[in-house]
Structure 1
Amino acid sequence: MAKKPVKKTASKGTTLKQLEAAEKKAAAAVKKARDAAKKAGDKAKAAAEKAKGKSTKAAKATAKKAKEAVRKAKTAVNQAVKSHDSAKSKLADAKATAAKQAALEKAVAKFEKDWAAKEAKKKAAADKKAAAKAKKKAAADKKKAAAKAKAAAAKAKKKAAADKKKAAAKARAAAAKAKAKAKKKPAKKKAPAKKKAPAKKKAPAKKKAPAKKKAPAKKKAPAKKKAPAKKRVAKKKK
Structure 2
Amino acid sequence: MAARKTKSVDAVAQLEKDLDTLKAQLKKARTQQEADAQKTVTALNKEATKAATKVKSSRTKLAAARKKKTAAAARQAEAAKAALASAQTVHNKVKAELATAKQLLAEIKASNKLADEHDKAIAKAEASMAKVQKAAARKEAAKAKAAAKKAAAKAKVKARKEAARAKAAAKKAAARQKAAAKKAAAKAKAKTKKAAAKAKSSSKKTATKKASTRKTAAKKPTAKKATAKKSTAKKAVAKKRTAKKSAAKKAPARRGRPRKKAATTA
- Normalised-by-shorter TM-score class: 0.5 to 0.7
Q: Which protein, 1 or 2, shows the higher relative CO under an 8 Å CA cutoff with sep ≥ 6? A: 1
Match of 2:49 among 34, 45, 48: 34
Whichever structure has more helix as a proportion of its residues is 2
- Over 3 Å counting, the alpha-carbon distance change for 1:129 and 1:13 in structure 2 is closer
Give the Cα separation in 2 of the matches to 1:48 and 1:149. 125
Provide the TM-score with structure 2 as the length reference. Answer: 0.56
Asked if residue 176 in structure 1 is aligned to residue 197 in structure 2, the reply is yes
1:66-77 counterparts in 2 under 5 A? 66-77=84-95
- Over 3 Å counting, the alpha-carbon distance change for 1:54 and 1:86 in structure 2 is farther
Match of 2:69 among 11, 33, 53: 53
Alignment partner, residue 159 of structure 1: 177
Give the Cα separation in 1 of the matches to 2:53 and 2:40. 20
Q: Which piece of structure 1 moves more, 111-120 or 39-48?
A: 39-48
Q: Is the 8 A contact 1:33 1:76 kept in 2?
A: yes
Alpha-carbon displacement from aligned partner over 1:207-233 (angstroms, at most 9, x marks no partner): xxxxxxxxxxxxxxxxxxxxxxxxxxx
Give the Cα separation in 2 of the matches to 1:171 and 1:142. 46
- Over 3 Å counting, the alpha-carbon distance change for 1:76 and 1:170 in structure 2 is same
Alpha-carbon displacement from aligned partner over 1:92-138 (angstroms, at most 9, x marks no partner): 32123113312321231232123112211222122212321331232
Give the Cα separation in 1 of the matches to 2:96 and 2:201. 150
Amino acid at match of 1:39: K
- Over 3 Å counting, the alpha-carbon distance change for 1:158 and 1:140 in structure 2 is same
Give the Cα separation in 2 of the matches to 1:182 and 1:164. 30
| Superposed CA RMSD | 3.1
Q: How many residues align?
A: 180
For residue 53 of structure 1, give the secondary structure of its aligned residue in structure 2.
coil
Give the Cα separation in 1 of the matches to 2:124 and 2:136. 18
Q: Is the 8 A contact 1:22 1:87 kept in 2?
A: yes
Match of 1:82 among 69, 80, 100: 100
Give 1:175 shift: 2.3
Give 1:13 shift: 5.6
For residue 29 of structure 2, give the secondary structure of its aligned residue in structure 1.
coil
Give the Cα separation in 1 of the matches to 2:188 and 2:170. 22
Give 1:18 shift: 5.4
Amino acid at match of 2:41: A
Match of 1:99 among 98, 102, 117: 117
Give the Cα separation in 1 of the matches to 2:51 and 2:158. 98
Provide the TM-score with structure 1 as the length reference. Answer: 0.61
Alignment partner, residue 31 of structure 2: 16
Q: Is the 8 A contact 2:55 2:91 kept in 1?
A: yes
For residue 14 of structure 1, give the secondary structure of its aligned residue in structure 2.
helix
Gaps (5+ residues) in structure 1? 1-5, 186-238
The runs of at least 4 consecutive aligned structure 1 residues that moved more than 4 Å come to 54-58
Q: Is the 8 A contact 1:30 1:84 kept in 2?
A: no
Give the Cα separation in 2 of the matches to 1:97 and 1:48. 52
Alignment partner, residue 143 of structure 2: 125
Q: Which piece of structure 1 moves more, 150-159 or 13-22?
A: 13-22
- Over 3 Å counting, the alpha-carbon distance change for 1:170 and 1:153 in structure 2 is farther
- Over 3 Å counting, the alpha-carbon distance change for 1:134 and 1:13 in structure 2 is closer
Alpha-carbon displacement from aligned partner over 1:70-108 (angstroms, at most 9, x marks no partner): 212221122122112212321232123113312321231
Amino acid at match of 2:102: H
Give the Cα separation in 2 of the matches to 1:68 and 1:116. 69
Give the Cα separation in 2 of the matches to 1:99 and 1:171. 107
Give the Cα separation in 2 of the matches to 1:168 and 1:55. 169
Gaps (5+ residues) in structure 2? 1-15, 208-266
